[in-house]
Structure 1
C-alpha cells in the first residue's frame, strides 16, 4: 500500500472454471471488497485468467495452477492481504493444491482471511494437516455452513471459527427479459419449471448416472402432466449440458424440455429465477438463486452443503436421488406445488436471515481491513 492508495488484496478460489456457482461467489466477494475498499487493487488467482479478466475488468487476474513458488512469491509480495475465497475448495486431494499457494503467502508473513469457505470431506492426512496448519495461522476463519465448522474442528483446528453464509447471498439480480426465454425455445403462456442436474464426481460419488437420469426424467414428466409445464434445464457448469440431455433422453414428454444454451452471468441467472413457477435441483447455487428470488424450490441433495441449505431455509430435502426412490420424491414435488403459497412467507423470512448471515462475512472482513490499514499507516509514519 502506497501513500494515498488502497490496499492490494489477493483473492484465491476456484475461479475461471466456468462454474456459475463459483463465479457467483467471486461476484459477491468482489462487490463486498469494492464496497469496503473502493480504491483497492485486487488480484484474482484464477484457473483461467482470461475468463476472469473478461468477466471482471476492474481486477487483475493471474494463474496459480502450475506456477512455481518463485513466480507465486513475486505476485504475493505485492499483497497486503490474501483472501481464500468462498466455495467448497478444502476437501481431500484439492485442499493441498490451494493451500500450497497459501503456505507460500504465509512464509512471507502475509495475513490470511478465509471468506465463507466450504470445507470437507477431509480424511486424508496430507490435506487435513495442511488445513490445520495454514488455517491455524489465519487472521480470521469464516465458513459458510455448520458442516464446514465441524470438519475443521474434527481436523484439529483450534482457532475461533465464524459461521456465516455463502457469498452468493450477497448478489443482486440483473434483468432476464422474456425475449431471452423465447430465443431459448421456451414458449409463452405455460407454467415453467427450472431443473438443475450435476455430474457425478468427487462431490457426488454415489450417484448412478443412468439411475438418477431416469429418476429426474420421471420428476420432469410428472410436472409436465401435473401442471402443464415446460421444463427448462439450467446448466451451472458445462458438463451439466450433457447430463441434461441424458435426463431428456429418458423423458416421455421430451418435447416439453429445453436446455439453456447461451452464456449468462450469475446475476442474469439469478434474474432468470423470477420466471420459474417451481424449481427442482441438485446444484447448490441454483437452489440459492431460487430461494433469493422467492421461487418455490425442492433440493435434491447429494452432499451435506445442500442439506445444510435446506435446513437453514426450512424446506424438505430427500436423499432419493442417490437411492433412486421415485415415490417419496414425486409426493414431495406434488406437495410443494400444492403448498407453495403457504410456505412462501416463512421461506422468505428465513432467506432474509441467511442473507444477513452472509453480510456477517463482510463485518469480519471489515475488521481485518481496518487492522491492516492501521498497521500500514503506523509503519509509514514511524
Structure 2
C-alpha cells in the first residue's frame, strides 16, 4: 500500500481524533444502539481519544450522545466543513449498521472515499450490506470497501453480498455491535405512563414500513397477517400485545395492524420516546416477542425471551438462523398457518429451547467484542505512527 509523504499533525492536540460515520441522528433505535456501543468500544481502548460523530441530525446526537466530543452534521449542508473534519482525523470508523444498500450506499461512501483520498485510515465496523443491485451503489461499495484498512461485517449475508459485488479484500464476519448494549431500567412508572397492564402477559411486536431495505413487503398483506398473529396470541396466551416502534414511521404501521385486529382493545403502542437501553430494559416486562425489526428481535434474544423473527430481509433471516429461531422464509399472508403453528410451538417448547438460545447469544456477544478488539489493533497501529511528529498516513487514491 502506497504511503504519502510525512505530515505534521495539528499543533492543537496530540489526542487521536477518531471519526464515526453511520446512520446516526435519532432515525432508528437500532442505529443509536450501535453508535453507543461503538463509542464505548473506542473510549475503552483510548480514553484520551477525541471522538467525532458524523451525524444526519447533529442536534439530536449532541443531546443524546454527550460521550461524543464533537458532532459534525454532514447531510444537506455545505461540504467544506465536513471535508475539513475528515481531513483532521487519524481514523474513520464506518458503521456499524446496514446502510450499504441501493440508494444509500453511495451517499455514505462518498464521505469514506473523501477520507481515504486524504490519507485517513478507514475501518468498517461490523457493517451490513444489501440489497445492492444499482450500478452506482455497487461501484461505490466495490471501490471504497476494497481500499479500506479492514472490513468487518455483522453477518454472512453481508459477506456474500460484498463478495458478489466484487470487494477485493479480506472480509471478517463477527456480529452486530448492539449485542453489547447496556440495559437500562424500564420502570413501573413508565409502564403506568404508557397505560400498560402489569397483571397480565404481554407480547411485544415490531412492524416496519416497506422501502428500499424491505422491497418484498406488501403493505396490506403483512398488516393483515400480523393482525392474525396478534389476535391468535391474545387468545392463546390470554395476553395483551404491545407494539414497539423502532423508527418514527413504525407507529403508522402499528396502527394499521391494530386496526385489523378483531380484539384491538387488547393492543397498545408505545408512544413516548426511549433510549435504546430502555427499550432493551422493556423486554423484562414481556413474555414473548414477534418482530420484524432486527434490533427488536436482537433485544428480545438478549433478554432470553421466546422470539419469532419475521424475516423480511436477509439480515433478519441470518440473525434468526444464528440464534436458532424458527426459520420462516418471508412475511406473506399465505404463510399465516405456518406462522401461527410456529409461534404456538415456540411458546410450548421454549423452556427446552432456552439454554440453546442463551448459549448462542453468549457466542454472538463474544463475536461482537471481537470487532472492538480488531478496531483497537488498527487504532494502536495508527496511533503508533501518529503519536510522533511527522505522521505517515495510508494513501488510497488521488484527489478529493
Does 2:20 match 1:11? yes
User: TM-score by structure 2 length?
Assistant: 0.92
Q: Does 1:47 align with 2:56?
A: yes
User: Structure 2 matches for 1:60-75, cutoff 5 A?
Assistant: 60-75=70-85
Do the aligned residues in 2 keep the contact of 1:211 with 1:324 (CA within 8 Å)? no
Greater RCO structure (CA 8 Å; 6+ sep)? 2
Aligned to 1:145: 155
Q: CA deviation at 1:377?
A: 2.6
Verify: 1:343 aligned to 2:373, yes or no: no
Superposition RMSD on alpha carbons, in Å?
1.6
Distance in 1 of aligned mates of 2:168 and 2:262: 54
- Rounded to whole Å, the distance in 1 between the matches of 2:183 and 2:318 is 23
Structure 1 position 322, deviation (Å): 2.8
Q: Aligned residue for 1:131?
A: 141
**1:330 maps to what in 2?**
340
Deviations 1:281-335 (A, max 9, x none): 0000000000111111000110000010011111103135234421000000100
Q: Are residues 1:58 and 2:60 paired?
A: no
Q: Look up the SS of the partner of 1:162 in the other structure.
A: strand
Q: Distance in 2 between matches of 1:381 and 1:291?
A: 45
Local SS of the residue matching 1:317: coil
> Structure 1 residues 80 and 208 mapped into 2: Cα distance closer, same or farther (>3 Å)?
same
Out of 89, 95, 100, the position equivalent to 1:79 is: 89
Give the corresponding residue for 1:204. Answer: 214
Q: What whole-Å deviation, never above 9, does each CA across 1:318-357 have from its counterpart, x for those lacking one?
A: 1352344210000001001101111100000000000001
372-381 or 303-312, larger mean C-alpha shift:
372-381
| Residue 126 (structure 2) aligned to one of 116, 119, 126 | 116
Q: Is the 8 A contact 1:301 1:321 kept in 2?
A: yes
- Residue 68 of structure 1 and its aligned partner are, at CA, apart by 3.9
- Confirm or deny: 8 A CA contact 1:282 1:299 kept in the other structure: yes
Deviations 1:22-74 (A, max 9, x none): 11111111111111111111111111000011111131211111234433221
Contact (CA 8 Å) 1:194, 1:280: kept in 2 or not?
A: yes
**Correspondences of 1:277-288 after superposition (within 5 Å):** 277-288=287-298
Q: Which residue in 2 is equivalent to 1:236?
A: 246
1:33 aligns with one of 30, 42, 45: 42
CA contact (8 A) 2:312 2:330 kept: no
Structure 1 length normalisation: TM-score? 0.97
Q: Which residue of 1 aligns with 2:396?
A: none
The match for 2:29 among 20, 29, 32 is: 20
Q: Give the corresponding residue for 2:228.
A: 218
- Tell me if the contact between 2:323 and 2:360 (Cα under 8 Å) persists in the aligned partners: yes
The answer for the alignment partner of 2:309 in structure 1 is 299
In structure 2, what is the Cα distance between the partners aligned to 1:47 and 1:360?
Answer: 28
Partner in structure 1 of residue 325 of structure 2:
315
Supply the distance in 2 between the matched residues of 1:188 and 1:74 (Cα, whole angstroms).
52
Displacement of 1:178? 2.1
Asked whether the equivalents of residues 69 and 104 of structure 1 are also in contact (C-alpha less than 8 Å), the reply is: no
Shift of 1:272: 0.6
Change (3 A) 1:322 1:204: farther
1:289 correspondence with 2:291: no
CA distance in 1 between counterparts of 2:177 and 2:254 reads 27
Gapped runs of 5+ residues in structure 2? 1-8, 393-400
**Structure 1: which 4+ aligned runs deviate by more than 3 Å?**
1-5, 378-382
Q: Partners of 2:113 and 2:386 in 1: how far apart? A: 22
- 1:147-193 Cα offsets, whole Å, 9 max, x none, are 11111111111211111111100111011112211221111210110
Instruction: State the match for 1:167 in structure 2.
Output: 177
Of 265, 268, 274 in structure 1, the residue corresponding to residue 278 of structure 2 is 268
* Unaligned stretches of 5+ residues in structure 1: none
